Amino acid sequence: MMRFTKTPFRRLAAGVAMAMMLSAGAPAAYAAPPADTLVQAWAIDDIISLDPGEAFEISTAEITANTYNLLVRLDLADTSKVKGDLAESWTVSDDGLTYTFKLKSGMTFASGNPITAEDVAWSIERVIKMDKSPAFILTQFGLNGDNVTEKAKAVDPTTFTLTVDKAYAPSFVLNCLTATVGSIVDKKLVLEHVAAVTPSAEYKWDNDFGNGWLKTNFAGSGPFKLREWRANEVVVLERNDNYFGEKPKLARVIYRHLKESSGQRLALENGDIDIARNLDPGDLDAVAKNDQITQDAAPKGTVFYFSLNQKNPNLAKPEVVEAFKYLVDYSGIGATLIKGIGEVHQTFLPKGVLGELDENPYKFDVAKAKELLAKAGLPDGFSVTMDVRNNEPTTGIAQSIQQTAAQAGIKIEIIPGDGKQTLTKFRARTHDIYIGIWGQDYFDPNSNAETFTINYDNSDEGKNKTLAWRNAWDVPDLTEQTKAALLEKDPTKRADIYKGLQKAVLERGPFVLVYQVTEVAGLNKAVKGFKLGPSFDNTFLEGVSKD
């Protein structure tokens, strides 16, 4: 991949390196980033792949949102609706099965290649045939490797049709297409980088559809294009001069991996970065007193939880599952570790989503937890491990849970790792306890309901790797209820189904929901037009500028 050699980038890199030194106590200041460059400090160690057909992480969602286009996007003016992105208009057949999209004219990819319905069809095809983690968002419509070329096809250069297997609520289908996995890639460019693959029982295609190349490269049409990604270090975007919409005001955007809140705060106060994305409550209070720094905040469709792998015999006991829900100091965490950056929330649907259940029935109660452990035949507790991403507030919350669980005799060994390490282990179902966050893939209650309650195949070979599957929670009754909700056209009845699902997870699910995330960013007052979105794939940067 190309690397920056121009003086501005070297100076910016050195500037953020200096910020890291400052967090360790070294003195000195450094030149501010140029006016045409936005530098953000963010914990981006969760990035595993930048291929939108594979990417399934929080940080990557924002990167792809600013570098790729979709058929439709969430309408931020009214999040109950979607609006056209590449699509100018769309219709649904009378039987509710076929969606026809008409594309806007005159659009090109960053490469200069024209955007056609063939690119749309092939983008869907590669997602289905690669069958990576996020593919289930589209395969749930009855698409598979054998039928996708007939179900998702170009009728002509500007007309694309998608045929689904059931008459789902149209809003659900359209919302799914707003997910990262619905990004449209440049077919001609990607085909130049396809690698041969030996077919197998698990993967019957003879090529990788460009996945190996797209992990670290770019084939999009968004306002920015990817210049570089260095894992656990930096992501660099630059303006796409072939963008068909209003051109970005900035020449480039740099995401610097800087995990520590104190380091981000010092870098922001020193002028080495423009935006700090991971400030903890104490540093937020500190920068609030600085008249050179402003803040932006947005409640996210993101929930923080820890989950109990049902493969572990102790964690599979219903009484142990319930005991853990009484071993969290919710009020203490809310008053300190997540003050200003979250709100205690114990159900899997975030506030603001259809069917959200605003109930927090569990309180910290060691006596109740001990009673439940005794019923489980574990009166003296047991030992278990917890995989923890080494950032805040995750580490602090994990340590709090470690201390409160110990009061009931449960000894938790914390296993720290970066985002990629902990996620990889979690997705392989080799954890005991995993602590982390789940962000909506699209703005519909099914995005969270499906992952917390659906497990189609509980074997290790299962393809739909939902959170229920990752924790080996086999719940055919909830799986069927969640599927039924997708066909319910009445919003009130549909909302009631989701409320029932949340009650079931509260009562017996191996998930302990702790809080709903509020994202807060600290901004140099020179930054204009920056607005955090309701989810991580709709914080858009093309309108951002600097004085």
Question: Residue 147: CB partners within 8 Å, gap ≥ 6?
Answer: none
**pLDDT number for residue 395:** 96
Question: Quick one: tokens of 189?
Answer: 């460019």
Q: List, for residues 98-126, the tens digit of each pLDDT value.
A: 999 999 999 999 999 999 999 999 999 99
pLDDT higher than threshold 50 for residue 253: yes
Of 287-296, 320-329, 488-497, minimum mean pLDDT range? 488-497
pTM for this one?
0.82
pLDDT tier at 24 (50, 70, 90 boundaries)?
A: very low
Residues 313-328, mean pLDDT to the nearest whole number: 98
Residues 275-280, mean pLDDT to the nearest whole number: 95
Task: Classify domain 300-518 by CATH number.
Answer: 3.10.105.10
**Angle, CA of 461, 349 and 518, to the nearest 5°:** 110
pLDDT tier at 452 (50, 70, 90 boundaries)?
A: very high
Of 9-23, 118-132, 144-158, 270-284, minimum mean pLDDT range? 9-23
Of 258-262, 313-317, 332-336, minimum mean pLDDT range? 258-262
**pLDDT number for residue 377:** 98
Question: Which amino acid, residue 273?
Answer: I
pLDDT tier at 84 (50, 70, 90 boundaries)?
A: very high
Q: List, for residues 428-448, the tens digit of each pLDDT value.
A: 999 999 999 998 888 899 999
Q: List, for residues 165-194, the tens digit of each pLDDT value.
A: 999 989 899 999 999 999 999 999 999 999
CB 533 within 8 A of CB 301: no
Mean pLDDT of the chain: 93
Q: List, for residues 205-237, the tens digit of each pLDDT value.
A: 999 999 999 999 999 999 999 999 999 999 999
pLDDT tier at 414 (50, 70, 90 boundaries)?
A: very high
DSSP 161-172: EEE-SS---HHH
The CATH architecture of the domain made up of 68-202 is Alpha-Beta Complex (3.90)
pLDDT higher than threshold 80 for residue 19: no
Q: Give the separation between CA 61 and CA 82, rounded to whole angstroms.
A: 18
Measuring CA to CA, which residue among 360, 359, 379 is closest to residue 369?
Answer: 379
**pLDDT number for residue 208:** 97
Q: Cis (ω within 30 of 0) for the bond into 114? A: no
Q: Give the separation between CA 350 and CA 503, rounded to whole angstroms.
A: 14
pLDDT tier at 352 (50, 70, 90 boundaries)?
A: confident
**pLDDT number for residue 8:** 42
Measuring CA to CA, which residue among 425, 432, 450 is closest to residue 324?
Answer: 432
Higher pLDDT, 506 or 80: 506
**pLDDT number for residue 13:** 45
pLDDT higher than threshold 70 for residue 29: no
Q: Give the separation between CA 135 and CA 124, rounded to whole angstroms.
A: 9
pLDDT higher than threshold 70 for residue 5: no
Residues 377-392, mean pLDDT to the nearest whole number: 96
Residue 348 exposure: Cα atoms within 13 Å on the Cβ side:
31
Higher pLDDT, 149 or 491: 149
The CATH architecture of the domain made up of 7-47+223-292+525-546 is 3-Layer(aba) Sandwich (3.40)
pLDDT higher than threshold 90 for residue 22: no
Of 258-262, 409-413, 507-511, minimum mean pLDDT range? 258-262
List C-alpha distances in Å: 507 to 10, 305, 431: 54, 15, 22
User: For 114, which DSSP code?
Assistant: B
Q: Where are the domains of the chain?
A: 7-47+223-292+525-546, 68-202, 300-518
pLDDT more than 90, % of the chain:
88
pLDDT tier at 62 (50, 70, 90 boundaries)?
A: very high
